[in-house]
Amino acid sequence: MAERRNEQKVVPTFEVAARRVHESHSKAFRNAKHKAQGINSLIEHVFPVFGDRRVDQIESADVLKALSPIWLEIPETARRVRQRMKAVFDWAKASGFRAGDNPVEGIAKVLPKQRDAVEHHAALPYDLRVSTRNHGQTIETQRIALVDFAKNRGFEIVEEYADDGISGSKDSRPALDRLMKAAQAKKFDAAIVARFDRFARSTKHLVLALEQFNHLGIDFLSLSESVDTSTPMGKMIFTVLGAVAELERNLIRERVAMGLDRARKQKKTLGRPRSVFDREKAKELHAEGRSLREIAAKLGVNKGTVRAAISAA
């Protein structure tokens, strides 16, 4: 009994304690990816500093040593690391493994003010595309850059949309279509792409997509062009593109109106041209009991045209 009590009083290292806390919170994570993110930041930034030390031996100076290299470099990640360390030390105190104040609270006034003025996006996807599989192009190059960018900004990636081997000249692509549907459902706050031409090959397509994002309140980030519509400069881009889209719509409307006016002056018949086929033959086939589908196939027109011809008899 005495040996068992002594084993229960063994103070864990910070790494052991962190993994226990993480495991106890595992049911709160939405999926395996989010669960991994909860511990990975500690593995990368804290365990190398004092992961092998007992939780009752760690002081505020140690916490400061772990946070200082990343506090200004990747501010959002640093704040999450601080929050997760605090949770571990709170658990250690509640479990009787340490006494006194939480060492994370002792550094609040010591850390410099962060320059992170960009709004945090709680969740976002990223879009990948290569149009030729057989010329050495892969989406992996784009994926690495996008994941690193999201990681450095402290973003949470919720989905990857990748069109592998599909031409970008098409406005409709499987992964792109899924991304736009997810945007309509407000499943993310922002979208990241490697370059504009990986997302859209035509200016018109880009303008229409960004206008839709703007309407939905979704930010758009492009790494190559350094465009981030969550910033004041980026919001200006949304405004300019919206004006371009409106101008294009007005020009199209004006051209259509001019064309209709010219056609009327030339006394041309407006509307869909009449289908040329043997209407009497259609009536004969119908009298024989043939279906509209069969008659349409035989005469080379659609069912609606056959129906209209028979009804006019």
**Sheet strand arrangement including 219-222:** 157-164, 124-130, 190-193, 219-222, 227-228
Are residues 45 and 15 in contact, defined by beta-carbon separation less than 8 angstroms?
no
- 264: its two tokens: 């009327």
Nearest to 162 by CA among 184, 131, 188, 190: 131
Question: Contact 114/72 with Cβ under 8 angstroms?
Answer: yes
Structure tokens at 133: 């599989």
Work out the end-to-end distance of the chain between its first and last CA atoms, rounded to an integer number of angstroms: 103
Which among 68, 131, 230, 275 is annotated as catalytic? 131
Amino acid symbol at 129: R
Confirm if 203 and 234 have CB atoms less than 8 A apart.
Answer: no
Q: Are 223 and 194 in contact (CB under 8 A)?
A: yes
CB-based contact 191:221 (threshold 8 Å): yes
CA separation for the pair 159, 175 (Å, rounded): 11
Q: What is the DSSP string of 156-223?
A: PEEEEEEEES--TT-S--HHHHHHHHHHHTT--SEEEES-HHHH-SSHHHHHHHHHHHHHHT-EEEET
The yes-or-no answer on residue 26 being catalytic is: no
- Catalytic residue IDs: 131
